[in-house]
Structure 1
């Protein structure tokens, strides 16, 4: 599918491509429905209203990320040749088309790894570049931390504040998580400054549900905020903390059928390292860091520097991959829920989270026979019968992974946390 993504004053052509209005309204056709997709108007308005001044190429990166998330929502996997892998041809208006075209291949490779789709990127001139605020505010924070409303980002922000750092918390607003994001920011370190943005990507038809490429919008929001800091304007490098336990960041395929983008790769080191290469090429002095790339979720809970605050807030965090499906409740049986429950078990503190499907050992389609529960059980059994390395296979065979020894050890400990959870509930 072809998409053309540009500001609303761009001379769009009606030539069969889906036109995506960036930072504006899509416009209406005769029956009152939008003939175009749109994304980014609220994010631009809220960022500029805060009188923040970001680097020009950070705005270009945001334009690309908005185009990616719009495409991710607009292009249905069910209409692809194999029912999953999409062919997406994306034209994006930016301020510096020559530079971004020089990075197109690198970005296509990163996006293919992220979503397993085939992307073709072309950049054209005419992208949005806002005028600097008359009296810009340059925050004095010493870094940026993503605050999603999840447990890992909560622990990361607590640990950073406890170490004496003062990060700017940045959130992608998601329905059901907004209150958590604001509440966590207010509770940590005496109150963290908080920038909450919403991509508002809206296609003119029903959204594709898989959303495997949305990670780039998190990165773009963090980079945008990071380049607004006083430290950045003074010529310094700004750390950008993307806090995720290493097991779910790697998200190794549990069985032979759980491959590729059936497992998310939001904080996978292969993806983050490839995006870091693009940031470096762009001269954007933002350094992406995951302090927990070699830690399990249980180890993050046990090692958190402020146990009192964590105990007060942990149960409010959201982990479930189907949270909205079950009326903003944890299902208890999806992969993220199982990792959360295993982590609480390893931590040794009571898990008072409400789980719709709590007794994982119950032998029915809602509990032990649910696909994700069976996949974990099969992975545990295979690792024990055939050996851990045979089960792991080629899951770490990527060129930008870094040192593999600690990653392998981390995955082994993460699988053992899940095994302990399954033993506790009698999953067979």
Structure 2
């Protein structure tokens, strides 16, 4: 195992020595400020887009975006396989210059524990004052304010965020949609076509979007390959949303549209508890981020209005069901659409839904439940057509669902305990029954779809 220290620098003049807290730690310095005093790696792109709408974030929310940027650099460019003792848990220190070091230091313990829950790594975050001459990163905005959003909504290009945007617009809200991507050939395409569909459907409602390409090149951290588990991605998403919400100058709700089954993400089998069970929108994690916002004096809160609904129930109860059914195929739910490039058929290699990962299975079940016909292109068009090989990915995920469903049927009362496995639900003591119900309903939704699907070792 190798300990890593990511040192965030702000421009060529930021040269003061950093006292590394872990002896022998491998140091990686990253300059987040270019020669034009503009923040790099996509953060400046988000700030520029807000400025073009006459919106100006505070120094605190910019610092939050810097912390998220440093986290993302570490999370995506430090391999779990080679840099940890157990092929999972890394030890990483972040050194970040901020406008108010005392404020951020007071929140460092909460931040570290929140990130540990999210990614499974051991984090420490150390704060220092920004270098002389970079005391302010907030841009001067002289443009007339052209956006007056009533809320902020995460807009990933996925089915859940699409439903979230539809419901908000149908209710008369004017949400500011916040998107980020790195794989420019895939994710942004779905975000763009979903936004275009919304603008055509609701032409009289101003629909503003902030869409930033945020990421870091391969080889940024020397002598280690990149990492594709991306457990920290939602913190970056939340930080960009906070940047946008803060720019309104008003108290703001940040909508995080995510179905309850995925949000809880109860492991389907014991092997999924660590590496294969994400916590990107778990209620405990979101509560800690809200606690962080409050401690930093940011007037916003994360809210998932679908925490007690399955994906199918979201589709079924969508405020504009006809529009959803006509456009749901334009959304992306797959955990890794790039898998299509490995297909033998060259006509089938464009990024698309694989059809057999956990998110794809939940998607297929939800469309069957709430929309009807599914015209989404899948690498495996029909899971019912052939016996799936559980020794390969196309059958392993199906088998995991079948095992979890069978276990729940044998011990129905186990659901009340299962919902606590991924993390505590102490912030929502009155919602335990609702969480249990969405877990049971979600598995039953998948069970109905998988009826007749066969998966076994081949």
Same fold (TM over 0.5): yes
Q: Relative to 1, partners in 2 of residues 1:203 and 1:106: Cα closer, same or farther, differing over 3 Å? A: farther
Specify the alignment match of 1:120 in structure 2: 124
1:398 pairs, out of 424, 428, 439, with 424
1:365 pairs, out of 375, 382, 389, with 389
How many angstroms does 1:69 deviate by?
Answer: 0.5
Are 1:332 and 2:351 an aligned pair?
no
Residues in 2 aligned to 1:280 and 1:101: alpha-carbon distance in whole angstroms: 15
Are 1:58 and 2:81 an aligned pair?
no
Say which SS state the counterpart of residue 401 (structure 2) adopts.
Answer: helix
Say which SS state the counterpart of residue 412 (structure 1) adopts.
Answer: helix
Residues in 2 aligned to 1:419 and 1:401: alpha-carbon distance in whole angstroms: 30
Specify the alignment match of 2:95 in structure 1: 91
Q: Relative to 1, partners in 2 of residues 1:83 and 1:135: Cα closer, same or farther, differing over 3 Å? A: same
CA deviations 1:274-307 (Å, max 9, x no partner) are: 0000101111111211110000000000000111
8 A Cα contact 1:97 1:123, kept in partner: yes
Say which SS state the counterpart of residue 266 (structure 1) adopts.
Answer: coil
| Equivalent runs, 1:107-146 vs 2, <5 Å | 107-126=111-130, 129-135=137-143, 137=145, 139-146=147-154
Are 1:204 and 2:219 an aligned pair?
yes
How many angstroms does 1:354 deviate by?
Answer: 1.5
2:374 pairs, out of 331, 346, 351, with 351
Specify the alignment match of 2:345 in structure 1: none
8 A Cα contact 1:360 1:425, kept in partner: yes
Residues in 1 aligned to 2:407 and 2:395: alpha-carbon distance in whole angstroms: 18
Residues in 2 aligned to 1:115 and 1:381: alpha-carbon distance in whole angstroms: 29
Specify the alignment match of 2:346 in structure 1: none
How many angstroms does 1:134 deviate by?
Answer: 3.1
- Structure 1, 175-184 or 110-119: larger mean CA deviation: 175-184
Residues in 2 aligned to 1:331 and 1:388: alpha-carbon distance in whole angstroms: 33
Residues in 1 aligned to 2:52 and 2:244: alpha-carbon distance in whole angstroms: 13
8 A Cα contact 1:5 1:92, kept in partner: yes
Residues in 1 aligned to 2:194 and 2:393: alpha-carbon distance in whole angstroms: 33
Specify the alignment match of 2:167 in structure 1: 159
Say which SS state the counterpart of residue 18 (structure 1) adopts.
Answer: strand
Specify the alignment match of 1:8 in structure 2: 11
Q: Relative to 1, partners in 2 of residues 1:393 and 1:178: Cα closer, same or farther, differing over 3 Å? A: closer
1:317 pairs, out of 331, 334, 337, with 331
Specify the alignment match of 2:23 in structure 1: none
CA deviations 1:311-354 (Å, max 9, x no partner) are: 12101100001212213111100000000011011125100111
| Number of positions where the alignment pairs a residue of Structure 1 with one of Structure 2 | 412
TM-score for both structures, normalised by structure 1: 0.90
Gapped regions of structure 2 (runs ≥ 5): 21-25, 341-349
| Equivalent runs, 1:242-261 vs 2, <5 Å | 242-261=256-275
Residues in 2 aligned to 1:295 and 1:304: alpha-carbon distance in whole angstroms: 11
Residues in 1 aligned to 2:400 and 2:427: alpha-carbon distance in whole angstroms: 25
How many angstroms does 1:158 deviate by?
Answer: 0.3
Residues in 1 aligned to 2:420 and 2:149: alpha-carbon distance in whole angstroms: 40
Specify the alignment match of 2:239 in structure 1: 220
TM-score for both structures, normalised by structure 2: 0.84
| Equivalent runs, 1:161-310 vs 2, <5 Å | 161-174=169-182, 175=184, 176-188=186-198, 189-190=202-203, 192-205=207-220, 206-229=225-248, 233=249, 236-310=250-324
Residues in 2 aligned to 1:40 and 1:87: alpha-carbon distance in whole angstroms: 25
Residues in 2 aligned to 1:6 and 1:52: alpha-carbon distance in whole angstroms: 26
Residues in 2 aligned to 1:382 and 1:219: alpha-carbon distance in whole angstroms: 35
8 A Cα contact 1:24 1:39, kept in partner: no
